Structure 1
Amino acid sequence: MLDGDCAERTQHSLLWPFLLRHGSSAMAYSSLQPGATQFIHPQLGYLAYIPVRHPLYAPRGMNVVIGDPIAARADFAPLLDAYLAATRVLTVFLDIGSAFADVLSARGYPVNEFGVNSEIDLAGFDLELRGKQYAHLRRWRNKARSEGVEVHEGRLSEQGGEELDELNREWLARKGGHDLAGLTRPLVLEDEEGVRYFWARKHGRLLALAVFDPLYRDGRVIGYLHNASRAIKDAPNGTNDAIVLHAMGQFKAEGKELLTLGLSPLALKKGEVYPHNAWVAWAFDFIYRRCAFIYPCQGNFFHKQKYCGRQEASFVAGVPTLRLYHLLGILKALRAL
């Protein structure tokens, strides 16, 4: 039997070849997050899920698959079939793209729109922020500059541990005491392979941190996901945007293709395009409009829109008998409850 360290190395050796070849989707690196389990097919690839068991929300257990399979698109269907043959647990597929949604819909799964992912073509992005479409970004960036905010890149291990711990504690205290999971990869307080970290300071004082996860295609990094941010309560307005814009300039200079700002949950702009659950569509619309205490969906979407990126539809697929308590189980898996 493998000990913990050996098992982790073995798992790493199985996952990374697929991630390096096929990890270009926004959720790809999140497939490695703490708390996730991976179903691995040694020839096809893998998919990641968060197992949930709760006496009310998931009394028989439920797997919440996060993102697309880490595999070639041509292998989505056989990988799904292999997973379904290996488990009898009810499964919901969350934040998936249209290619995987096509496969699931063809298998009879209701597929609902779940939001949009915002992607920015770095080569075409105007870092000078000229034009009225960038008016909000200009104002936020200029505010941070006028307040003396300075941005630099550096590994976690290069920063003061006490400073980082205090930043993390203060931020989490204002966000319910813990990170979300699943759709947002929890912050790991140690250097991670391929992940980049940008910091904002004012007169040497740490104000904020932004974490960027790599996107891979055919063994090379093609861009990054802005995965996580931390900022102190009294950081000047525009600090987080100053970090993102600085990082975009760095990535663009390196010839990277894109930056994705990730999912705007429940920002439903394209309309339902698959056979779907009508009550789930109603519930998503209600949560988006009325439940900012669960997650500030409208504010999240408003802010990401100001970067003028392209919006790629995201979907959720579940069994036809999906019920309200299953939806609550999903929220439990994401640590929103």
Structure 2
Amino acid sequence: MTTVNRRIDPDGVADALRESADNPSAFLALNAGNAYFTDPSSSGVVAYREAGRFLIQFGGVFAPEADRERLLGAFLGFARAARRKVVAVQLQRSDAELYARCGFTVNQVGSSYAVRLPDHTLRGSRFMKLRNKISKARRSGLEVTEVPYDGHRDEIAAIDREWLQAKGRHVKEIEFLVGECGGPAQRHRRLLLGRLDGAPIGYISYAPAHGSRPGWLHDLSRRRATAPPGVMEAINLHAMDTFRGEGAEWLHFGFTPFVGLSPEHEVPGASRMTTRFMRLMAERGDKVYPAASQLAYKEKWGPDLVLPEYLAFHGRAGLPAIWQILRVTKSV
């Protein structure tokens, strides 16, 4: 049967994620700019972007277990016909093992973090600094509310501009592996906005997470340079309390590259060159990606779960493919 490349509507992708995705960051497949591959012989969808001679595929194959290997094979056939090589990013362990069986070289690239909401508490000495920061932000007059994006897009855009300016004029806004606000998928997200004296000071966007650990993904967060300490933590605690009250099981803090790397997580056949590169980035790569600050924020919440995530090259690993990933995400 002929393989086809279809541009399917966001609701179709969202349905596939809801039915089959076990990756807590799977909702990022709905980011603007992604293309989608489907095949008549299989259920499910593959999300990807074109970059040079590569197809950069995100988050594994979002399909029922019985169809995953068949759909991956069809996607590889599509890539061959287009004379492109496939590189997959942000794979879960089960994805990594499937891809290794299908001829990929697979390496751990980082880790993701999550807390189980029903059991989570900030009591105890380990959370004293976090409680104090949140209390200070609340005493300053911080108000946190859940708001619709369409009614507050100008406020969100103003925070985004100031946040990016504070990073420096040469810094680009990272894409692909982080979320976004707006677009056709916005109605699935939830947006919490913090205000001081009525003025918007920061926000966090949350995306749905499906699969074996359902809940919400702490996706995109921005604040003004003038935001006092504890604002973002107070917004997130408000969200956690809200989600817990609604019966949500997990809050996922998402993927951070170059952290939690361990030989015990590697898949047989991993590339030594890629392992060395990841170790180097873990030690010196903060100018490329702020992994250390992201990790510190996630660890302060006392995560109950740390999951290794993977990068996979069809065939042999190579630095040109890593470079294209950095370009697609605008990390360079």
Contact map agreement 1:73 1:99 (CA 8 A) in 2: no
Output the CA distance in 2 between the equivalents of 1:249 and 1:307. 13
What is the correspondence of 1:46-61 to structure 2 with a 5 Å cutoff? 46-53=45-52, 61=53
Query: Which region of structure 1 is more displaced relative to structure 2, 71-80 or 29-38?
Result: 71-80
Aligned match of 2:128:
135
Output the CA distance in 2 between the equivalents of 1:143 and 1:75. 51
Output the CA distance in 2 between the equivalents of 1:308 and 1:77. 36
Q: CA-to-partner distance for each residue in 1:204-239, whole Å, 9 max, x for gaps?
A: 111001100112359xx9411111011000101111
What is the correspondence of 1:61-210 to structure 2 with a 5 Å cutoff? 61-88=53-80, 89-126=84-121, 129-159=122-152, 161-175=153-167, 176=170, 178-188=172-182, 192-210=186-204
Contact map agreement 2:109 2:261 (CA 8 A) in 1: no
How big is the shift at 1:190? 8.1
Note the residue ranges of structure 2 that are not aligned, 5 or more in a row: 1-5
Output the CA distance in 2 between the equivalents of 1:190 and 1:233. 29
Q: What SS does structure 2 have at the residue aligned with 1:315?
A: strand
What is the correspondence of 1:1-337 to structure 2 with a 5 Å cutoff? 11-42=9-40, 43-53=42-52, 61-88=53-80, 89-126=84-121, 129-159=122-152, 161-175=153-167, 176=170, 178-188=172-182, 192-217=186-211, 222-271=214-263, 272-274=265-267, 275-309=269-303, 310-337=305-332
Output the CA distance in 2 between the equivalents of 1:206 and 1:279. 46
Q: CA-to-partner distance for each residue in 1:216-271, whole Å, 9 max, x for gaps?
A: 359xx941111101100010111111111100100000001111000121103432
Output the CA distance in 2 between the equivalents of 1:172 and 1:279. 34
Query: Which region of structure 1 is more displaced relative to structure 2, 115-124 or 313-322?
Result: 313-322
Runs of 4+ in 1 over 4 A off after TM superposition: none
Contact map agreement 2:44 2:63 (CA 8 A) in 1: yes
Q: TM-score, normalised by structure 2?
A: 0.89
Q: What SS does structure 2 have at the residue aligned with 1:118?
A: strand
Structure 1 vs Structure 2 CA RMSD: 2.2
Q: What SS does structure 2 have at the residue aligned with 1:259?
A: strand
Q: TM-score, normalised by structure 1?
A: 0.88
How big is the shift at 1:189? 6.9
Report how many residues are paired. 318
How big is the shift at 1:125? 0.8
1:121/1:316 Cα in 2 relative to 1: closer, same or farther (>3 Å)?
A: same
Contact map agreement 1:154 1:197 (CA 8 A) in 2: yes
Output the CA distance in 2 between the equivalents of 1:17 and 1:299. 34
Q: CA-to-partner distance for each residue in 1:289-334, whole Å, 9 max, x for gaps?
A: 1121111112211221111111011111113433222211110011
Contact map agreement 2:10 2:30 (CA 8 A) in 1: no
Q: CA-to-partner distance for each residue in 1:42-80, whole Å, 9 max, x for gaps?
A: 542011112102xxxxxxx11111112222233321111
Output the CA distance in 2 between the equivalents of 1:170 and 1:189. 21
**1:48 partner amino acid:** A
Q: CA-to-partner distance for each residue in 1:85-104, whole Å, 9 max, x for gaps?
A: 22221111101001110111
Contact map agreement 1:179 1:187 (CA 8 A) in 2: no
Output the CA distance in 1 between the equivalents of 2:273 and 2:60. 24
Note the residue ranges of structure 1 that are not aligned, 5 or more in a row: 1-6, 54-60
1:135/1:115 Cα in 2 relative to 1: closer, same or farther (>3 Å)?
A: farther
Output the CA distance in 2 between the equivalents of 1:103 and 1:50. 21
Output the CA distance in 1 between the equivalents of 2:116 and 2:226. 32
Output the CA distance in 1 between the equivalents of 2:242 and 2:22. 19
Q: CA-to-partner distance for each residue in 1:121-146, whole Å, 9 max, x for gaps?
A: 111111xx101232342232122123
Contact map agreement 1:30 1:182 (CA 8 A) in 2: yes
1:290/1:12 Cα in 2 relative to 1: closer, same or farther (>3 Å)?
A: closer
1:191/1:330 Cα in 2 relative to 1: closer, same or farther (>3 Å)?
A: closer
1:36/1:162 Cα in 2 relative to 1: closer, same or farther (>3 Å)?
A: closer
Aligned match of 2:3:
none
**1:130 partner amino acid:** R
